[in-house]
A and B are shown apart, each in its own frame.
Chain A
């Protein structure tokens, strides 16, 4: 978060909009919203210096519920929009919100390359292992034996492993959080925003309507027993062998964030635009 300056403390309510969330009661995303506003307040960032970008899905409604700048984009393309924004406006703090369907399936390719590019922004994925908005289809992180009318006998497919893929692709900060612990989650988001480069935070966020079994997550999560490492291979090994409910910052890298070179080359955007004039 090299470009972020802090100012006197603000309150979470300073970042909440007048739009009332329409998630299902019990949805973990309510807590994630709370964690967002707490994190912004802890950082003391002016709302107009934060942009929350999203794609499509339940989780992607979140920009409307904050009073920061927001962009509710197209399905799976939130990272592309956010990357363009951050490159042209490095003074802004860019936080991208997504879900496991939007982020890992439709937007899976953008996820890989956002990690690789290491642009200084924070990617928060609310993972409930199901497509909630479209009524319960399996997502990339759904267990292979998720047996419903929409997936008879289960998918039989191994779940996508986002944290390991993020590490392999070059993300500079990797963490896992649980929506039911908003204070701790806010702390992780704060650290993610402060860390230079591409920070990836996966938040386990139960869908109580289509995955009522996920109510049990609050009894399964536990703090990661080890501190964050700066070695991607070590972090990957740990994550591959953990139980999926280790909560905390798991990796802090030291890669130099992507720097746009427009200033070095003295490029004037107005000159570029002339080439596209009709």
Chain B
């Protein structure tokens, strides 16, 4: 399921802020859903990690909301943002979750999201003609690039698990 930019072009700074806000709030919602799923399956490492990711994205959303001042970003985004296919760029793929997934897998999801967001804002930076939009897009590009680096730094703490990571000593179905 590819994730492609919104169908409508960004024509103002308000558009860009609204899209950025929606991207962050969608990510918060998705990480919260994954937190709940992992709580259900008692995968406590992932509960903490997804909760932290949701909190971090929520903080970014709040920063954007403050930047926007009086603009109702939610209403603006509803009028503006329609992702062509799949979810918004930072929304982790629910279908990629697994009850035995590890922090490494969760961070891979986060990395994909951050890279997609980086690509999204880079495309705006590359195509916008308005100087104000370009300036703000450049700020978002810088921020998302930092997020990508942050995830890479976190991944140093969690090496890739062995190929047997999904093997369950008490599997859901007998195979022998």
Contact = CB atoms under 8 A, between A and B. Distances in A.
**Max chain B C-beta neighbours (<10 A), residue from A148, A179, A209:** A209
A30 B173 contact: no
A180 B1 contact: yes
A24 B173 CA distance: 14
A218 B33 contact: no
Contacts of A148: 173, 175
A260 B94 CA distance: 42
B80 interface: no
Contacts of A208: 95, 97-98
Interface string B89-126: 00001111111010000000000000000000000000
A245 to B, nearest CB: 13
Interface in B136-176: 172-176
A141 B172 CA distance: 21
B86 A20 contact: no
B98 A22 contact: no
A64 to B, nearest CB: 14
A26 B172 contact: no
B37 interface: yes
The DSSP consensus for interface residues of chain A is loop
A25 interface: yes
Nearest to A214: B95
B1 A25 contact: no
Given A26-B95, A181-B86, A209-B99, A135 B38 contact: no
Interface in B41-97: 41, 83, 85-87, 93-97
Interface of A: 20-26, 28, 30-31, 135-136, 148-150, 179-184, 206, 208-210, 215, 218
Interface pairs A-B: 6 shortest CB-CB = A25-B97, A136-B173, A26-B97, A25-B37, A135-B173, A218-B1
Given A148-B173, A150-B174, A208-B97, 19 more contacts: A21-B37, A24-B98, A26-B97, A28-B95, A30-B33, A30-B37, A31-B94, A31-B95, A135-B173, A149-B175, A150-B173, A180-B86, A181-B1, A183-B85, A184-B85, A210-B172, A210-B173, A215-B95, A218-B95
